[in-house]
Amino acid sequence: MKNNIKNFLENYLKNLNSSILKSNIQNIERAAIEIKKVSEKKNTIYVCGNGGSAAISNHYVCDYLKFLRQHSKLKPKVISLSSTIETITAIGNDFSYDQIFKYQAESLFEKNDLLIIISSSGNSKNIKEVIKYAKKKGVKTIGFSGFNGGYLKRNCNISIHVNAMNYGISEDAHHILMHVMLQYLISYLKKS
């Protein structure tokens, strides 16, 4: 059993590393610069996702609002549309689960805000709805997708696609790239 888990772990990490390195890494820098611009202009960064991607969305608030501010002069305003279970369930129950992000966006988004979307499939109906609304409102989008990228990859402004056909590897890669982007941005800001 001991050797089996060791071999499994080595193979999993090899696949994770390969998936990250095969992703369109150049867009990580573009996304980091976009976060910098939006923060400097005092606009708001919104984040959303379903399931494990919702947990990553909520983690963005912690790391970008606290850690980025702690290690730079930026004071980003970051809000996760995935964090308010009361609002999400009310919208889902009274209207449709497809509307949980869009409905919030209709009350919150301002032109020149930024929306970061995390979705392994890239095809969730609530993700499609919020992307359409963001475009209509003039809100730029950064999309973290897996598998073939789906609607998210094709329709966001900056696509960070991880070619992983496994939810665990896709979500792990998105979480790692969130930290990479954050720490790259801090390093970039210290040099400028």
122 neighbors 143 (Cβ within 8 angstroms) = yes
pLDDT at 191: 79
pTM over 0.85, yes/no: yes
Q: Which domains does the chain have, with CATH numbers?
A: 2-191 (3.40.50.10490)
Q: Is the dihedral of CA 159, 57, 188, 15 positive or negative?
A: negative
pLDDT tens for the chain, residues 1 to 192: 667 999 999 999 999 999 999 988 889 999 999 999 999 999 999 999 999 999 999 999 999 999 999 999 999 999 999 999 999 999 999 999 999 999 999 999 999 999 999 999 999 999 999 999 999 999 999 999 999 999 999 999 999 999 999 999 999 999 999 999 999 999 988 877
Burial of 75 (0-12, 13-18, 19+ CB in 10 A): exposed
pLDDT per residue as tens digits for the range 119-168: 999 999 999 999 999 999 999 999 999 999 999 999 999 999 999 999 99
